[in-house]
Chain A
């Protein structure tokens, strides 16, 4: 009896370890993703996967394996090294994709898929498609055709902008209007909120926006440049005078908490945070209910967006049946109904999509989201963020690691830039 039980258990374990199984003709796959659990992206993504599963019931089924956002790129990279990439991958580490995945043909060419699905191809953002097209004409990935310029949120109850919007103010004017109020900065993790604000400070410097735009592919290694030096000097001043008290060592949750508990009046972040910041978000404290939160572009009329990015791709190691599933999911995500639902949930604009009247009505009714998305105007400087333009260990680790010393004055802006430059140089392969 024990032997039988042991055999059954061993067989169950083996089955559980199999990445996919064909049962009753259903192609079923498990893909790791970070848009799960408490991640804000889960609010839209998980129901979307369920909608896909319902639509293709009996044919395809996707299971999501939970990962934290910080771990996602590393995990994908590890799976890539083991040649065990999941059937669908969203993005990944840029350098790894450029240096390893594309040169080694570890991906499925999506050009035939786009030729077959003209309705998807027509929606794609031209520059993004060009970024994803290899020299030999293969299409590496399909990114959603939605631009989501990143700006910031501020608590209108705490600060009086004198009838102006942040877009009409410089950082100096904006911080002056802040008075004693603080900005939710952070130095932990990848210093996300600080990086966004810093990016806008670079963008408003002479040649700054062009500098950022020109380094999404060939990364920036020299930070001893006037635009960056001036921006660092400004950042230092602002960090020293307007950073929330928990900034040093703060991870994103700490920064968000500072904003939601009225310990900071401003936080830089993307439109996908509307779900958290919306009035019924339920995460507010200190007598703050979020009703006075406004969405805006960053001071200097800067919004951050990088169309040079990788989207969903299908690894070459997937079986034909799995590839079909992967392509069906990509096509599903790019249907007008799904794109509209996505924009309503996470914001953004799809330049090549003719939106329905129903969508427009719902968007207007969404309040904060509508305000956030429509803060971008014809004069807005749109450019990639600093993190998009630097080697990954510089953006993810070194920048945040050096910030405490910039704050306490141990590092001058010049020394800070020199340290960043040295750190970037260390990332180069011999």
Chain B
């Protein structure tokens, strides 16, 4: 990529630009950067959260070793893998599909967009409670529907294996409005001339979607994938308020293990988990950036 050349006039504005950036940078340093540095450091120490962290030079990876001994750790990695896969395919797929449908501006599209937004203004905690009723074994909506076909059906979705994994998955799978909005914004920004030129060349609607819209939405879809996977890495309420990681460790997540470690005053271990989540997030960003060529110009 060619290096940007700044004019003398541009350079004269630099101090002002940096001045305006300063408050944001200070806030970022105070509330993000410093805690991240603390997490990085304390992840290698024994720390009860109050007394000074103790660094043992002979065993700097003590928390990470303990992490691998935790029974919930490997299942949480396995779950993260599958949830990430589902998120980047089905979840983002649903969000993108709705975005494309809304972009057709069919009658009532604004209403549909608003309705699709509603689940996102309800907190995850409230959703978890709602889903406890939907998946209730005795009077839950889902079992009720299934019983119309199979009267003896009785699955305790959040508490039986392997149903619990899917029950947790259902608590977030369809709520992809963020992806929809990002994709929709990108679709709206596509110059009309491109479509008109394609129509003159005899391109069908499907072809226009496939050859023009989808490639031009590459960045927004990539962003959607990053957002949905990082949400899975940090997913807590959906699990903690329903299955609590069970049955066994079937629905365990890294964030649940992190909170559990805090409850047991093992802040060093909690920060080792946080560090791992942070690294996973960065890796996902780098990987998706590369796969979707997000740094390359779209137009």
Residues of A within 8 A of B (CB): 74, 80-81, 95-96, 99-100, 103-104, 187, 245-246, 248-249, 391-393, 396-397, 400-402, 404-405, 408, 410, 422-423, 426-427, 429-430
Contact = CB atoms under 8 A, between A and B. Distances in A.
Contacts of B51: 100, 103-104
Interface string B65-80: 0100111000000000
A80 B70 contact: no
A245 B156 CA distance: 11
A-B CB proximity, top 8 nearest: A404-B159, A427-B264, A100-B50, A401-B246, A393-B263, A401-B244, A248-B159, A405-B247
Contacts, number: 78
Nearest to B159: A404
B244 A397 contact: yes
6 contacts: A397-B244, A401-B246, A404-B156, A405-B246, A422-B71, A429-B46
Given A391-B264, A397-B244, 7 more contacts: A100-B265, A392-B263, A393-B263, A397-B263, A402-B246, A404-B156, A404-B159
A249 B156 contact: yes
Nearest to B243: A401
Contacts of A80: 50
Nearest to B257: A426
A187 B156 CA distance: 13
Chain A interface, DSSP helix/strand/loop, else mixed: helix
B143 interface: no
Interface string B238-257: 00001011111000000000
Given A80-B50, A100-B48, A245-B138, A393 B246 contact: no
Contacts of A96: 265
A410 B46 contact: no
A248 B246 CA distance: 12
Interface string B252-293: 000000001001111000000000000000000000000000
B228 to A, nearest CB: 27
A125 B160 CA distance: 46
A100 B264 CA distance: 12
A248 B50 CA distance: 37
B138 A246 contact: yes
A410 B248 CA distance: 10
B248 A81 contact: no
B208 interface: no
Interface in B37-81: 46, 48-51, 62-63, 66, 69-71
